[in-house]
Amino acid sequence: MILSDKTIRDLLDRGELAIEPLEDDQISPGSIRVGKQIQPASVDLRLGTHFLKLDEHNIAYIDLENPAKYISFDKEEIILPPHSFMLATTMEYIRLPDNLTAFVEGRSSIGRMGLFIQNAGWVDPGFEGEITLELYNANQLPIKLTAGRRVCQLVFAQLDQDAYYPYRGKYQGQRDATGSQIYFDEENQHN
């Protein structure tokens, strides 16, 4: 079941779900609640200031058994060149309970401009941390991005019960954009 804005607000108010910082609601004329970030069935997340770019000039290839080399930088504004890839972080730190999962979706208005935003699309129950986003510019033109801009949304789904093994993995508690840690996978652990 996808959660509504009312359920999301209730979970936030009870402290069962955390999204920080989260801009406060507004009351529109006529006393209708208008969310700055809370949408009818999602919560918009904003682009942070930390980015990672693969250090393609100093590595011959990327493999799945060793750490990839990244260039790390903090900026309020970046230009994403055509057909290029970069990791970014959200401003928000989230904490999911063990009975709630979330899907990361790019905002439609941004996707219509050729910017693809992912995080592998899934946030496991029990995860907490900033979300690392995968940005890809599918255009022939560069795209300018500014920190604080709403770029993606979390859609929450209720599990039928608490996860037996909630997420406590290698990205738990991450801050800033975090590069791939696939080299920690079981397939890479040689006896």
Enumerate the active-site residues: 134
* C-alpha–C-alpha distance, residues 14 and 31, integer Å: 23
Q: Among candidates 45, 50, 5, which has minimal Cα distance to 22?
A: 45
CB-based contact 82:111 (threshold 8 Å):
no
* Torsion (CA) 4, 121, 58, 176 in degrees, nearest 10: 30
Which residues face 93 on adjacent strands?
A: 20, 130
Identity of the residue numbered 182: I
Count CB neighbours of 9 within 10 A.
17
* C-alpha–C-alpha distance, residues 141 and 189, integer Å: 42
